[in-house]
A and B are shown apart, each in its own frame.
Chain A
């Protein structure tokens, strides 16, 4: 498998509303996180990848298949675990998973054997003969994962797999997901709002907001894009401090402050091999002219997925309205 997903000038419009747009995105096999607030375009992208929604323009390939023209082949090699409960009421866990196997083309006997195997793998031996809609959330989540794995897919799409699970269940589910990749060699596309979950299991991420791909790449690449960064606090004239630092090649990014108050917290990215002495020199020079300008705080800035997401989505989105929930 060379490429997991390839998008080329893919666009989907609902009337005049842009639901999704991406120029060129190539994702390699592995565990990929799909991040974005509600309305970011995650569902639209997944529907287009599954071949259930026609793009307005451009093309998408998944596992080498054209998503629009070969959707059947795509769906036969992909396992999908939906966010919400989607069961056939009245079936036992075993019947439900067997049905999934049969829908993927397996014969009834093979489907039943395979269902037993997958249910055992996921620790659902005892629940297999019970009605699925009567099971607790943890078992229902595992049953949904079981039906996604039943056809031995190359790619498993997981939509909020830890929803409704307690901390222990959540940890177990993330461990399962990691092992699916590590030990079964499955590629995984994990759509989640929980950045901690994504960071724990994903190799790479795609960050979406308002229908646009804002960033994509390996988590390690994204987090290392700002090496030699420090979080600083300044006092005195912010403009003077900024000018002095910029003269020495330091890039400054203001962190959000209260409305109407000038920012005093910055992320300072130092040029090349420079170290913190550059900052001290800069403030020493500024202090001679304007003694109120001081470096009052300094600490290494460590980027994680949460800070990357906040930075990328925060800089692209308007500030939320009071009480607005971006989920």
Chain B
């Protein structure tokens, strides 16, 4: 074995191996500064996805999707076998899956419960821990703006929600269209597709913004779960009671986040509903107020962070 004399020099001089420091310069080719939010999103998503509880909730959420997917397949087989026996086919379609806007709206709405639970336990991992463990000091000492940090967290949370709402629903839409006799369904159902995308995005982004605000304010899982329960369970019950006592004044429903999402979903899918008779601008204003309050909470908490504490 050949030994280079140079290798022996540091040891001979009583020094350690660390004496031969080599550190190449940082790479010249850099990502566009505007994309600095992407690592924040990827790491945030990774932190949640690797948790066992996420897999449990994803599994729970996908049970619904798998059920409808199987039903669409079943209906396609049934309609092929029951050609000409309209009433049976109609019965199956009416009571199992109709392929209409209402059907897709209800699928996303049905997923909202699982989404709510998933977000309640993910809030601390995604955002709260950054405040508790002073990660913000680390983030903001890098060339990362506050809006990029927010965007990264928003994308991570929205992707998480989309995995349970928008994406399964789009898959079902495509599956339903492909099992039809012709591809006309895709052309005729553009409004449904718009409804799925718009409602899916609203649920994903809306609930994510709300979570970011709540998690930034409260930080610990137990506190987030309690406030989340207040918003999504207690408040709807209270507003329903007040709504009944106030002899049907729909303005009380503006306090109920679920009702606001429902109103928007009907608007996106073009579904007429008599459940909400308030002025059309009022749900939009109420939703904007909810999200504005959450944004303000998030912004004020991140503004309070200084790199040097």
Contact = CB atoms under 8 A, between A and B. Distances in A.
Contact of B143 (A99, A103, A123): A103
A217 interface: no
Contact of B23 (A73, A80, A100, A117): A117
Given A104-B142, A107-B27, A50 B309 contact: no
Nearest to A179: B21
Given A53-B306, A105-B143, A88 B43 contact: yes
Contacts of A43: 306, 308-309
A162 interface: no
Given A88-B133, A88-B135, A99-B39, A183 B306 contact: no
A95 B47 CA distance: 11
B26 A88 contact: no
Contact of B141 (A80, A123, A183): A80
Contacts of B306: 43, 47, 52-53
Given A75-B141, A88-B130, A99-B39, A107 B307 contact: no
Interface hub of B130, B143, B144 (most chain A Cβ within 10 A): B143
Interface in A83-123: 83-91, 95, 99-108, 110, 114, 117-118, 121, 123
Contacts of B140: 52
A216 B308 CA distance: 21
A152 interface: yes
Contacts, number: 126
A121 B133 contact: no
Nearest to A123: B18
B190 interface: no
A121 B21 contact: yes
Interface in B206-263: none
Contacts of B141: 50, 75, 80, 82
Contacts of A150: 26
B36 interface: yes
B138 interface: yes
B301 interface: no
B200 to A, nearest CB: 28
A192 interface: no
A206 to B, nearest CB: 15
Contacts of A107: 27, 29-31
Interface string A121-155: 10100000000010000000000000101111000
B68 to A, nearest CB: 34
Given A104-B142, A184-B23, A84 B309 contact: yes
B142 A133 contact: no
Given A82-B134, A90-B47, A110-B27, A103 B139 contact: yes
Interface string B24-50: 111101110100101110010001001
Contacts of B136: 86
Given A52-B306, A86-B134, A103 B142 contact: yes
A9 interface: no
Given A103-B36, A103-B139, A84 B134 contact: yes
B307 A106 contact: no
Interface string B130-154: 1011111111111111000000000
Q: On chain A, which size bracket covers the interface?
A: 35 or more
A191 B309 CA distance: 12
A212 interface: no
Given A72-B143, A82-B138, A103-B39, A47 B308 contact: yes
A159 to B, nearest CB: 6
B309 A105 contact: no
B23 A86 contact: no
Contacts of B22: 121
B129 interface: yes
Nearest to B149: A103
B82 to A, nearest CB: 53
A315 to B, nearest CB: 27
A293 B188 CA distance: 112
A184 B22 CA distance: 9
B103 to A, nearest CB: 39
Given A100-B142, A106-B31, A117 B307 contact: no
B143 A75 contact: yes
A42 interface: yes
A190 to B, nearest CB: 13
B125 interface: yes
B22 to A, nearest CB: 8
A97 to B, nearest CB: 11
Contacts of B129: 88-90
A84 B132 CA distance: 12
A223 interface: no
Lowest 4 CB-CB distances: which A-B pairs, in order?
Answer: A105-B30, A152-B26, A102-B39, A86-B134
15 contacts: A43-B308, A75-B142, A85-B134, A86-B133, A86-B135, A88-B47, A88-B129, A90-B47, A100-B142, A102-B31, A103-B39, A104-B143, A121-B23, A123-B18, A152-B25
Given A82-B307, A83-B308, A89-B135, 8 more contacts: A73-B143, A82-B308, A85-B134, A91-B47, A103-B139, A107-B27, A110-B27, A191-B308
